[in-house]
Structure 1
Amino acid sequence: MQIIKWVATAIVATATLALLAGQLGLFAGQPPGDLGVHAGKLKRPSDTDNSVSSQALLWPGHRQREAAQIAPLALRGDGPTTMARLNALLQAEPGATIVDSRVDYLRVQYTTRLMKFVDDVEFWFDPVQGVVQVRSASRVGRNDFGVNRRRIEQLRDKFATS
């Protein structure tokens, strides 16, 4: 019986410490220094299972490129109109903070409510392809359990009906 109490106490203590660490921002990580558009591409997807990118296939030799591939967003009007609509939609998203907003580029940080994990999400109007390229990646960890993919697909659905 003593062992069960000890294990239960250890589990509660670990959970409490993890929650406290999250609230203190210890799981937020640092934003990558190379976000943005470089030579017509957003940053490559992560080497781990915690990112998606509509340009993943442009990175030959990247071990996660097929798993990270996600479709770009379709335009709703011209590029600037689409980006303005997307900006308005993102402003209403829970946990989203717009960090960089330009006519052709948006960068958003999503912060989880409880543990304060931060994901970096980028949207770029690609005038050559006539779409909005997207990249969503967790700053820390190795697996996001599909959170970044679901986020983009949910945004795609909201955007199509807005």
Structure 2
Amino acid sequence: MKKRYWLLCSLPLVGCSTIPPELGVSGETLKDCPITPNCHSSMDKNAQDIAPILFKGSRAQAKEKLVGIINSLPRTTIVEEQDNYLRVEFRSHLIGFVDDVEFLLSQKVGDRTQIDFRSASRLGISDLGVNKARMKKIKVLFAQ
């Protein structure tokens, strides 16, 4: 019984204390997803189940709108911000597990911007569809 108590008490700390994986832009792309169902990417041919966000406007305008959407969502922290890149940490409500989400903004021909993303749980194998649902929600909010 005592072991079970310690295990339950330490679970919130496990979710908060994991070290983020090596993330960032490699060339002109985001890193590929691992072979787990808790990662979704618009660039990785193995995990490309959600199309990138397309925006009619400049990269600066797209980034401003994206930052506003991210800041409106609960339990988010923008960890890194560059002209064409954002890295965001989303924490789960109960235990505080961290999901790492990256956005890469590319100016396309004319007045168009493409926003690619990679969203992955930092810990575990399954996320019960949370990362995919989050990216779909961000796409819907961006379209409004």
Normalised by the length of structure 1, the TM-score is 0.77
The residue that corresponds to 2:92 in the other structure is 112
In the aligned structure 1, how far is the partner of 2:75 from the partner of 2:28? Answer: 28
In the aligned structure 1, how far is the partner of 2:64 from the partner of 2:43? Answer: 22
In the aligned structure 2, how far is the partner of 1:109 from the partner of 1:76? Answer: 26
Residue-by-residue CA offset, 1:111-144 (whole Å, 9 max, x unaligned): 1121111000001112358410000000110111
The residue that corresponds to 1:30 in the other structure is 19
**Per-residue deviation, 1:48:** 0.8
CA contact (8 A) 1:56 1:69 kept: no
Letter in 1 for 2:9: L
Choose between structure 1 and 2: higher helix proportion. 1
Q: Which runs of 5+ in 1 are unaligned?
A: 1-9, 58-64
The residue that corresponds to 1:79 in the other structure is 59
The residue that corresponds to 2:125 in the other structure is 142
**Per-residue deviation, 1:158:** 1.1
In the aligned structure 2, how far is the partner of 1:22 from the partner of 1:76? Answer: 44
Which aligned runs of 4 or more in structure 1 are off by greater than 3 angstroms? 16-19
Letter in 1 for 2:28: G
CA contact (8 A) 2:91 2:97 kept: yes
What is the count of residue pairs matched by the alignment?
A: 139
Choose between structure 1 and 2: higher strand proportion. 2
Q: Is 2:43 aligned against 1:55?
A: yes
Q: Which runs of 5+ in 2 are unaligned?
A: none
The residue that corresponds to 2:29 in the other structure is 41
